[in-house]
Amino acid sequence: MSHQLVNHSPDLLKLRNEGYEVEIRDAFLLVHSIPYVNQNAEVKSGTLVSELTLSGDRTTTPGSHTIHFIGEHPCNKDGSEIAQIKHQSSTQKLAEGLIVNHSFSGRPYDKPSKSYDDYYEKITRYVGVISAPAQSLDKLASPKTFKVIESTDEESVFNYLDTNSSRAEIIHITNKLKSQKVGIVGVGGTGSYILDFLAKTPVSEIHLIDNDEFLQHNAFRAPGAASITELQEKAKKVTYHQRNYSNMRKKIFAHEMFLTEENLGLLADLTFVFICLDKAEMKKFIVAKLEELGIPFIDVGMGVKVVDDKLIAVIRTTSSTSDKRDHVREKHRISFEDPEGDPDYLTNIQIAELNALNAAFAVIRWKKFLGFYHDSEHEFHSTYTLNANLLLSEETYEA
């Protein structure tokens, strides 16, 4: 992906062709071997690190005029710091193995109120400022080494670089999710939104398990906008969603089946499971198998009723890990019996924004388990009551 990006971006290609050591790493642009002078008036070599703003497989106008630097603070010939680009100095981790020491702020000479037209202009502007003192002390000091930097990027699950995480400088936090193999049992309203959120993370695999067809009513409570042609196909939900999200990422697996006691082995290789089923009876053997395998899971639930010609709702998120499982059965936090005589259950009211909210609570809880978000409560059961705007956290665990 890195070499393809350079080849498709005239500004990056121009930098490489002129001899700059260009590397793309975790959606950051690195330019190595930049000569500079340190405070002892010695000529050293550092690395410029810039965000990358992309459109598909090529660069666009840089999203920021600032830039990072790896090395000591660049100085003038006498060892005094170069003040014209000084911004802030602090050690910061941008991604795994990518730690910067300083950031600089300098705009183009001819348009000080604007940013740069492209990355060639941005990099060469900073190189000119940083390297001029070094080149005055050492005529052989040059950033144009013509050294080829081999790509060190692992094969990404994404079809294009995650510049959202790099722009926010949280790649190293996002990468905590990479090793996950996640299953979603039931990809109706809530399950499809969980997929939408997971698809934008670097999890290694996403397994969709459902045997229902994607029909017209499903289109009104799922992310995206299905076409009439797609609805006429009557594809299985898992296949429909796999096809759509494969535009963004790889390794989404569609399993056109309902889980039964005979095929539960499908869960064995997963690291986490989201259970998004309307029928409580089906959950009984799924939960038992996940507990037997020691696999953590989150079960979601939503009850919507009509009261006085308005809707009320309660949204539930129940978690279970090896740290805490007793609440699931002993306190009946997950029901394993279907209320077949309940007309509200048979109507099964679902609203897209409530499905999305249910999914958001579940995915945030999952991300807390993995250390993406800070977690001070460690709740294993929560409910949100819509009409009272009340969020309750229960079944807390002392980590």
| Tens of pLDDT, residues 195-214 | 999 999 999 999 999 999 99
DSSP E strands, 96-199: 98-105, 181-185
Residue with tokens 């910067």: 100
- Residue % of the chain over a pLDDT of 70: 95
* Cα 327-331-332 angle, rounded to 5 deg: 100
Angle, helix 352-369 to helix 189-198, in steps of 10 degrees: 50
HEC-encoded secondary structure of 84-124: CCEEEEEEEEEECCEEEEEEEECCCCCCCCCCCCCHHHHHH
Contact 52, 166 (CB under 8 A): yes
> Domains in the chain, please, with CATH?
2-156 (no CATH), 178-396 (3.40.50.720)
Residue with tokens 């939503």: 302
CB burial readout 358-395, b (16+ within 10 A) else e: bbbbbbebbbbbbebeeeeebbbbbbbebeeeeeeeeb
Look up the pTM and report it: 0.83
Here the tokens at position 129 are 């400022």
List the one residue out of 381, 360, 364 whose CA is nearest residue 372.
364
Contact 338, 281 (CB under 8 A): yes
Strand partners, 381: 318, 394
**pLDDT score, position 308:** 95
**pLDDT score, position 151:** 56
List the one residue out of 365, 287, 271 whose CA is nearest residue 327.
287
* Distance, CA of 181 to CA of 178 (rounded, Å): 9
Contact 67, 83 (CB under 8 A): no
What is residue 337's DSSP assignment? Answer: S
Contact 44, 32 (CB under 8 A): no
* Distance, CA of 317 to CA of 252 (rounded, Å): 24
How far, in Å, are 215, 244, 283, 303 from residue 288 at the CA level? 31, 32, 8, 24
**pLDDT score, position 347:** 60
Here the tokens at position 380 are 């294993």
* Distance, CA of 248 to CA of 245 (rounded, Å): 5
- Chain centroid to CA 254: how far? 21
Please give the backbone phi and psi of residue 296, each rounded to the nearest 5 degrees, phi first.
-70, 150
Strands 43-51 and 252-256: unpaired
Mean pLDDT by 10 residues, the chain (399 residues): 79 94 92 97 97 90 95 96 94 93 90 85 96 96 87 74 85 94 97 98 97 96 96 97 96 96 95 93 92 97 94 96 94 82 60 97 98 96 97 90
